[in-house]
Amino acid sequence: MRLPLPRNPGRYSVALVCLGNICRSPMAQVVLERRVAAAGLDDRVTVRSAGTGDWHVGQPMDSRAAAKLSAAGYDPSSHRARQYDDSWVDDHDLVLAMDHANLAAVGGRSERVAMFGDHDPLEPGGEVADPYYGGEDGFADVLAKVERTSDALVDELSALLSSGSYA
Ligand code: 4NP
């Protein structure tokens, strides 16, 4: 899945969007930031996350999401929930929605708006299912999906940012 070209050559900003910004998109942000740093791209790639709803603004990650990340060796502690607003699509190179309702809330597909799951190498095109009202399995599923999808996204970002025409 090709990424849109960066607005500023050699740099890239990604926004991850879910509903509450306390489960899916912050889990994906923490994982993707780790992968970006491991690839040596952390001075060039920015990852942010937001929720389309405002209920949890300012709150830390859901405790179940945080526990799942901590158990896997990630640090969830710095997250504070933010609400998406329409300026984000102009401020980022790529906006990735976790499910179809989130996608609709950010205005639908465009050159710079897609589904996070489009980049899932195992089940491309799918949603990251909302784990909020479910059990522990849902959070494990989110982590597995965001880990493999973040691996693929970082490969794509590395290729884009290291290619001569864009670097
Ligand atoms: P998220 O999960 O969108 O993955 O952060 C949710 C968090 C909160 C709610 C729904 C989903 N809520 O209804 O408060």
**pLDDT (tens digit, 9 = 90+) per residue, 80-115?**
999 999 999 999 999 999 999 999 999 999 999 999
| 115 within a domain of the structure (yes/no) | yes
Q: What is the CATH number of the domain that holds 84?
A: 3.40.50.2300
Q: What is the mean pLDDT of the chain?
A: 96
Query: Ligand 1, from 49, 130, 143, 146: best to mutate by most atoms within 8 Å of Cβ?
Result: 130
Domain count, the chain: 1
pLDDT of 47 reads: 98
Confidence of residue 139 (pLDDT cuts 50, 70, 90): very high
DSSP letters, 74-133, are ---TT----B--TTHHHH-SEEEESSHHHHHHTTS-BTTEEEGGGG-SSSTT------TT
Is residue 50 included in any domain, yes or no? Answer: yes
- Check whether 29 has a pLDDT greater than 70: yes
Residue 28, ligand 1, Cβ within 6 A: no
Domain presence at residue 167: no
Examine the residue annotation and report whether 82 is marked as an active-site residue of this protein: no
- Looking at residue 146, its pLDDT comes to 98
How much of the chain, in percent, has pLDDT values that exceed 90?
Answer: 95
- Å from CA of 62 to ligand 1 middle: 9
State CA 136 to chain mean position distance. Answer: 20
Q: Is the CB of 51 inside a 6 Å radius of any atom of ligand 1?
A: yes
- The finding on whether 23 has its CB within 6 A of some atom of ligand 1 is yes
Q: Is the pLDDT of residue 61 over 80?
A: yes
Q: pLDDT for 32-43, tens place per residue?
A: 999 999 999 999
Q: How many whole angstroms separate alpha carbon 144 and alpha carbon 109? A: 25
Calculate how far, in angstroms, residue 26's C-alpha sits from the geometric centre of ligand 1.
Answer: 11
Q: Is residue 165 part of a domain?
A: no
Which residue range(s) make up the domain with 85? 12-158
Ligand 1 pocket residue status of 162, Cβ below 6 Å: no
Give residue 167's pLDDT.
43
The residue nearest atom 7 of ligand 1, judged by CA position, is: 20
Q: Are 59 and 20 spatial neighbours (Cβ–Cβ below 8 Å)?
A: no
Residue of 138, 122, 142 lying closest to 16 (CA atoms):
142
Q: Quick one: pLDDT at residue 15?
A: 98
pLDDT at residue 164 in the model:
53
